[in-house]
Structure 1
Amino acid sequence: RNANSSRFGKFTSLYYEKEDVAFGDEIESVYAVAGSTFETYLLEKARVISHGQNERSYHIFYQLLCAPEEFKTSVWDGLKDTTQESFSYLGSTDIDNIDDRCDAQCWEDVRSTLEFVGFEGERMISLMKVLCIVLQLGNLKFIPDPKDEEGAVISSQDELTKLSDLMGIEPSVIEKAITRRVLTARGVLIEAKLTAVESKDSCDALAKEIYAQVFELIVQSINAFTSPAEKGNDGFLNGKYSSISMLDLFGFESFKVNRFEQLCINYANERIQHRYVVDNFISVKEEYEREGIDTFDVSDIENSAVLKLLEGRMGVFSILNDECVRPKGNAESFVYKLKTIHRDSYKLVVKKLDRPWEFGIKHYATTVKYDARNFVTRNNDQLPKDVLECVCKCTNDIIRSRFETIAIERAKQPTGIRRKMGATSATVCTKFRTKIIALMEFLLTSKIRYIRCIKPNENMSPHTTDHLVTMRQLGSAGLVKAVNIAREMFPNSLSHDKFWVRFKCLTKLNIDENLDVKEQVSIILNEQFKDKLPSSGCHDCFYRVGATKVFFKPGQLELIESRRATRKHKAANIINNQAKAYRKKKNFLTLKRGAILVQALARRKKEQAELKKKKEVVLAIQCAIRLARARRTLQKKKEDRAATIIQN
């Protein structure tokens, strides 16, 4: 269904280290990437031994088989000229490329990446041999023992010899570990024979556990290579590093047959859904109740009852763990206890036509019917002691070191009543639940953003949306219900004091300052929404006035803000106009005074010019008069002189 599906959940964290850098006279904070880590959740180990039609097992198996023959031979002679049909776990499939790239091309990328994180030389060969051991375990065939029908033997002795060569363990030791069990009853060791089916299950369990261990080894190697140099026990070295993390978990699953893996996956989704509802709805609802506002109904998306059914004191996981510890625990007994204890739970779906191993749970997305026939087996994560002791003799250093660690930890487990508690804590559902709860506790200290991934079509075609497929996913994810609830919410709020200070400028009424601030706020709101009064005669569809806050429907606070902005804009225009008028008047008076001064100077200059001209005329006249007088005087003197001369 998805060639790029990782088949496990992961929590990836990028760590950043803060540095203060000087830019001129200023100091700015710069965040540099210091490293990364990731944690995995619930690897789909069942895919190692089987896969659906038109699907494949894990890609690494096919890529290894498409590696160059020289490399395959260096890993194990038995890989020479092998194909996927050579191994029962892989079988035949028509899928030979991923995203238009063949397995041989992908192998080169995987090889170089593994070398980059430390798997080089002999360590690389050992890692690939581990994968060969997993594949070879699938080739073992079991038939009833001809000498004892209650027992089983391995009929494919050639395949057993190859496995013995790979593991460095005698064939008889391997066969005995897989087909028999050594039990202790009152201090006496009893050897019990397994049937062919039980032996096959034991072999498959070993293959899954080996693959899970090598997967965990690679995860640890990558984290060791990419984690910050000074990463502390808390992951942040006492606050030295900040982080941005991404949680990528499997989506809600509901198939024709739903098994143990689907229960765990759906439990994780229930936990995420609960965190989402608490963050986005429950906290808001509690605030509304404190404020005395009618709240919305979250029963359609609130899933506390489902979580209680799954992880409560006597919930599904608890009953399943008890059944795993019981010597003859089985699916029918588990389902019977579950239906008896929770017969009053409306989240547990019980139908008369259900088979003894079937039960249903009403999840937040939809009702899922589970087939519990493999629950006890899948939940028991511990290998039998016989198998564990056998694997610890393996000459492959990776397998030996990993399983010796498991053996040491198991040896530390208590005995007696406390042993039961220890066995319960080692189950898959307990480990998975512990990791999920730890993740939820970490999320409480983080700022969370939710992203819902929707697959647009079933064919993985680009630029194509199948509306039926999309709407079905939106419905199963609870988004449609969440949107309907969001319509009843009041996403915007302001305290009474802030509202009064911010919006009292809008009212034209003379509001008494001695009134309670809540009443003042109500008066302003009634005035602002009087033109939007609905047929109901109240404004509850627009806003609600709580004990200390005012809550608004989408768009209503923006409406009042726009009116306030308009009012401020008008007031700003008036102030602006007054300021402009003042400046213009001041400029006018200055120009007027200048004009008067210029006019005065011009008139003075004109008068001075006219005065000068008049002076010149007067002087000319005076000169002419004096000249005439002087001439008359001179003429008279001449005449007197002439007369004197004549007289003389």
Structure 2
Amino acid sequence: MATSTATKARREGEKVWCPDPRNVWQLGSIVEDDGDSLFVLTPDDNEEHKFNVSQTHPFDPSHSMLLPNVSDMDNLHEAPLLDLLRRRYMEDLIYTFTGDILISINPYKNIPLLYNFPDIGSLSKQENPTPHVYVTADGAYRALQSTGKCQSILVSGESGAGKTEAAKYIMRCFKELVDAMDVMGISADLKHNIFTLVASVLHLGNLNFVENAKNEATCPDKSQVAVLASLLEVTPRELEFALCMRTVSAGARGSVAEICLSGVDAGKSRNGLAKAIYSALFDWLVDRINVATAQMTGAVPMNDVGASRFIGILDIFGFEILAVNSFEQLCINYTNEMLQQQFNQHVFVYEQDVYVEEGIDWSKLSFQDNIPCLELIEKRPLGILILLDEQALMGRRASDDNFIQKLHQTHEKHANYIRPRFGNEDFIIKHYAGQVTYKVAGFLDKNNDSLHNDLLNLTNSSTMAFLRGLFASSTPPGDQKLKRASMTKMTGTMTVGRKFREQMTELMQQLNTTTPACVKPNNVRFPQGWNAELILNQLIYLGVMETVRIRRSGFPVRRTFNEFYLKYKLLYNVYAAKTKARPTTVGDKDKCEVVFMRDSQLRLLDAAIRKVRVEAAITAQAYVRRFLQRKQYLRVRAAIIQVQANVRMFVARTKFLRLRHRITSFNACVRRWLARRRYLRMKRAAICIQAGERGRKARMLAKYLRAAPKAQTVIAKHFRGYLARKYVAKLKQSGFIVKASVQAYVTRQRFLRLRHAAIAISKSAKRFLAVQRSVLSRQATIASQAMIRRSLARRKFLREKKMATRLCAFGRMIIARRAYLKTKRQIVLVQSLVRRYLQRKQYVLLHYAFDSK
């Protein structure tokens, strides 16, 4: 019994979800719990209802929160889910997450700024992304990049739920790309050609080859070849020939021969064509962007040589040491070596030259010079990239094995080159960030950046002018006979390594600043996760640790004397004010033009200048606050004077209006008395006239009544004659009436029979129509009741809303009235005190005057 009482005490007053015939579920309060049933007080009708415990669901505090993700809700049930969606919908939050599922409710209206995001990708980067269709689209794109698997977005729902609109906004990313092309001045035809070439690159990846018994490659899927040929606007036969065949010249006369390629070689041709199309398209887009942005050159400042100034942003890979390092890692690490060498040249060599010129006492800085490593990679005539280009000129005699043997023979004794003890496919380079083992397999293929003549002829034979324009500079003469290439032409062949070296040379000529370094704290992307080993390796690869050591050992901060004086002259003035001395020189190195400092000294001076500026700011703020307070005081004083004037004006006006009202009332009473006296006089005259008229009419009536008996006798005689004549006529017509009655009876019987038949038919028809009307009436009644209930509910909601608004307005009025009354009392008190003071002052003056007399 005690347990039951405790449970009841604990459950009573708690909230619970209970069924609702209109809203499916509603939140109520438990009034009584008898074990199997609950008595719940619902807020809609303010009545108690009895429910079984199984029909209800307990309430959790998370049910009242406006959660963006339903999965964050505790004790999840359909009742709080519906309530959450409803509350978010009422707040114009139509998107809600349920794990990775996005629930979208059609608002049937335009919600301002719902799809106005300058950076769509930033939505999914948040720790708790805001529910939005853009987050779903961006998540699919990121999953495609990370997993390499195709992604699908399923948009489901009933008709009118907003599926089409959701799909439209998912495609908005592509629309923004198209809009950006419009801004760059790319026409619709060019955009179509660009997307066509991108699609052709994707279709090239789907193209496979098989070999027959003679190791000749063919394309088994002719439909894929036809689709790809239509995209490139060439014939399928030309495409298959260019991918599976090779035209070469043989003999002294330069006769032409066609050689069938193997499956591997055909795959290389396919990959080379895809790479060439994509690379040419990328270069064209970059040139087009540069041309479009260079159109504003007139508004850009020019340097001394007339070229436009610019701010370049360099986005490169960091130093890479992977499990398997190939030609790509060599190029990336070569780039980082070049940047490190440029950094060393700028920081060490240039810094020490400046110290010598300025006569600064310094200790020579030691640093790890990576010039030998760069010479190993790029120096002619035996650099690694140079030897790799030589292999590209050897034709069929070139191979990865020959290349690695050439490297071992040439650089085995180099300080930055290591030959592995085991295996003949690897070589090791000592970079500034550590030793990297490169696998030579695939170096020659990845270094080859040229297409053979058949593929170039294929692009030249395309009917797409845009594709022909991309390869115009490298298209061979198609109608001339193939000739044996001279050594001069072979020497000028452009490879990936050669192009990369030239681009790096141009970059080093432009680059004269440091680059930012990005570090990730862990590989699992966990918030606040800290992997010390990973971070340290990244700092070493990026040269950050070396930079810190350099800044500690040298004088990285330098300012001209003019800049130094303009920035720190406040400290000079403060020092002179405290010591009452104003030194005219800083030191005895008057010939120097630059002030050199370490980071610690700069921080000390910056801290001192910040302190002076903070103190000055506090003083200035004090003066400003005093000015503002005085200004506010004067404003309040003027307002009080104005209020007092208004109050005095109101009192005087009230007295005037009251006096005018009394005068008006007195005048009205006088005019009413005069009007009533005139009215009574006219009333008595009218009564006298009416009495005379009534007497005259009475005398005429008496005269008429005296002559009435004679007239009655004459009228009675004529009336009796009329009755006799009428009786004779009635007897005369009685025979005709009997005959007509018989005929009428026969006709009536026949009419009744027809009438009964018509009534029966009419009843059947009416019964059928009544059934139909009953069905239609029932349907109309149900619809009307639904509309009435909806209208009543809306009226109730509007009435409650209006009442709440009135209550809020009444509350605000009460608060304002209280404030007004309080202000009024204060003003009256101030006025009374002022009047008392004035009266007392006047009394004192009079008293003194009286005493003096």
Per the TM superposition, whether the score is higher than 0.5 is yes
Match of 2:186 in 1: 119
2:409 matches 1:344 = no
Q: Distance in 2 between matches of 1:278 and 1:338?
A: 28
Match of 1:420 in 2: 490
Q: Deviations over 1:194-237 (max 9, x none)?
A: 110110111111011111111222222222222134579x9969
What is the letter of the counterpart of residue 265 of structure 2?
E
1:119 offset after TM fit, Å?
3.3
1:384 offset after TM fit, Å?
0.5
Going from structure 1 to structure 2, the CA distance change for 1:231 and 1:339 (only over 3 Å counts) comes to farther
Give secondary structure in 2 for the equivalent of 1:405: coil
Match of 1:387 in 2: 455
Q: Which has the higher strand share?
A: 1
Alignment of 1:27-38 (within 5 A): none
Match of 1:377 in 2: 445
Contact 1:230 1:237 survives alignment (8 Å): no
Q: Distance in 2 between matches of 1:235 and 1:247?
A: 22
2:228 matches 1:163 = yes
Q: Distance in 2 between matches of 1:182 and 1:492?
A: 64
What is the letter of the counterpart of residue 417 of structure 1?
M
Q: Deviations over 1:560-609 (max 9, x none)?
A: 9999xxxxxxxxxxxxxxxxxxxxxxxxxxxxxxxxxxxxxxxxxxxxxx
Contact 1:492 1:554 survives alignment (8 Å): yes
Q: Distance in 2 between matches of 1:474 and 1:391?
A: 46
Q: Deviations over 1:156-201 (max 9, x none)?
A: 2221122222223222221111112112233232322211011011
Match of 2:403 in 1: 334
1:555 offset after TM fit, Å?
4.5
2:288 matches 1:221 = yes
Going from structure 1 to structure 2, the CA distance change for 1:480 and 1:95 (only over 3 Å counts) comes to farther
* Residue number among 211, 214, 218 corresponding to 1:144 in the alignment: 211
Match of 2:200 in 1: 133
Going from structure 1 to structure 2, the CA distance change for 1:211 and 1:559 (only over 3 Å counts) comes to closer
1:143 offset after TM fit, Å?
1.0
Alignment of 1:514-525 (within 5 A): none
Going from structure 1 to structure 2, the CA distance change for 1:165 and 1:450 (only over 3 Å counts) comes to closer
Q: Distance in 1 between matches of 2:308 and 2:232?
A: 44
Going from structure 1 to structure 2, the CA distance change for 1:288 and 1:140 (only over 3 Å counts) comes to same
Match of 2:365 in 1: 296
- Using the size of structure 1 for normalisation, the TM-score is 0.58
Q: Distance in 2 between matches of 1:332 and 1:235?
A: 52
Going from structure 1 to structure 2, the CA distance change for 1:422 and 1:193 (only over 3 Å counts) comes to same
2:552 matches 1:487 = yes
Q: Deviations over 1:349-385 (max 9, x none)?
A: 21111x3231111111122111222111111111000
Q: Deviations over 1:133-163 (max 9, x none)?
A: 11222222211124x22x2111122211222
Q: Distance in 2 between matches of 1:298 and 1:421?
A: 38
Which consecutive residues of structure 1, in runs of 5 or more, have no partner in the other structure? 1-62, 68-83, 496-502, 506-519, 523-546, 564-648
Give secondary structure in 2 for the equivalent of 1:360: strand
Going from structure 1 to structure 2, the CA distance change for 1:106 and 1:459 (only over 3 Å counts) comes to farther
1:265 offset after TM fit, Å?
1.4
Q: Distance in 1 between matches of 2:454 and 2:298?
A: 39
Give secondary structure in 1 for the equivalent of 2:309: strand
* Residue number among 299, 316, 323 corresponding to 1:249 in the alignment: 316
What is the letter of the counterpart of residue 164 of structure 1?
A
What is the letter of the counterpart of residue 489 of structure 2?
R
* Residue number among 389, 399, 414 corresponding to 2:467 in the alignment: 399
1:556 offset after TM fit, Å?
6.7
Contact 2:343 2:514 survives alignment (8 Å): no
Contact 1:117 1:225 survives alignment (8 Å): yes
Q: Distance in 1 between matches of 2:496 and 2:220?
A: 32
Match of 1:368 in 2: 436
Give secondary structure in 2 for the equivalent of 1:257: coil
Going from structure 1 to structure 2, the CA distance change for 1:308 and 1:388 (only over 3 Å counts) comes to same
Q: Distance in 2 between matches of 1:487 and 1:409?
A: 62
Contact 1:335 1:372 survives alignment (8 Å): yes
Match of 2:504 in 1: 436
Alignment of 1:146-295 (within 5 A): 146=213, 148-149=214-215, 151-185=216-250, 186=252, 187-230=254-297, 238-239=305-306, 241-286=308-353, 293-295=362-364
Q: Distance in 1 between matches of 2:511 and 2:456?
A: 37
Contact 2:245 2:261 survives alignment (8 Å): yes
Contact 1:258 1:370 survives alignment (8 Å): yes
Contact 1:96 1:103 survives alignment (8 Å): no
Give secondary structure in 1 for the equivalent of 2:471: helix
Q: Report the RMSD for the aligned CA atoms in angstroms.
A: 4.6
Q: Distance in 2 between matches of 1:395 and 1:477?
A: 48
Contact 2:426 2:437 survives alignment (8 Å): yes
1:296 offset after TM fit, Å?
2.6
Q: Distance in 2 between matches of 1:165 and 1:560?
A: 70
Contact 2:330 2:438 survives alignment (8 Å): yes
Give secondary structure in 1 for the equivalent of 2:511: helix
Contact 1:181 1:194 survives alignment (8 Å): yes
1:451 offset after TM fit, Å?
2.1
Contact 1:288 1:295 survives alignment (8 Å): no
Larger radius of gyration: 2
Going from structure 1 to structure 2, the CA distance change for 1:350 and 1:230 (only over 3 Å counts) comes to same
Contact 1:414 1:422 survives alignment (8 Å): no
Match of 1:526 in 2: none
Q: Distance in 1 between matches of 2:537 and 2:241?
A: 51
Q: Distance in 2 between matches of 1:190 and 1:454?
A: 56
Q: Which has the higher helix share?
A: 2
Which consecutive residues of structure 2, in runs of 5 or more, have no partner in the other structure? 1-136, 154-165, 561-571, 576-586, 609-853
* Residue number among 88, 93, 104 corresponding to 2:149 in the alignment: 93
Alignment of 1:527-546 (within 5 A): none
Contact 1:143 1:196 survives alignment (8 Å): yes
1:387 offset after TM fit, Å?
1.0
Q: Deviations over 1:479-531 (max 9, x none)?
A: 22332343333446899xxxxxxx9x9xxxxxxxxxxxxxx979xxxxxxxxx
1:110 offset after TM fit, Å?
1.5
Q: Distance in 2 between matches of 1:289 and 1:92?
A: 57
Contact 1:140 1:155 survives alignment (8 Å): no
Q: Distance in 1 between matches of 2:248 and 2:605?
A: 78
- Using the size of structure 2 for normalisation, the TM-score is 0.45
What is the letter of the counterpart of residue 109 of structure 1?
E
Give secondary structure in 1 for the equivalent of 2:463: coil
What is the letter of the counterpart of residue 343 of structure 1?
E
Going from structure 1 to structure 2, the CA distance change for 1:409 and 1:170 (only over 3 Å counts) comes to closer
Return the structure number with greater relative CO, CA threshold 8 A, min gap 6.
1
Match of 2:385 in 1: 317
Going from structure 1 to structure 2, the CA distance change for 1:183 and 1:464 (only over 3 Å counts) comes to same
Contact 2:393 2:491 survives alignment (8 Å): no
Q: Distance in 2 between matches of 1:211 and 1:459?
A: 33
2:413 matches 1:357 = no
Q: Distance in 2 between matches of 1:157 and 1:480?
A: 58
Aligned residues: 431
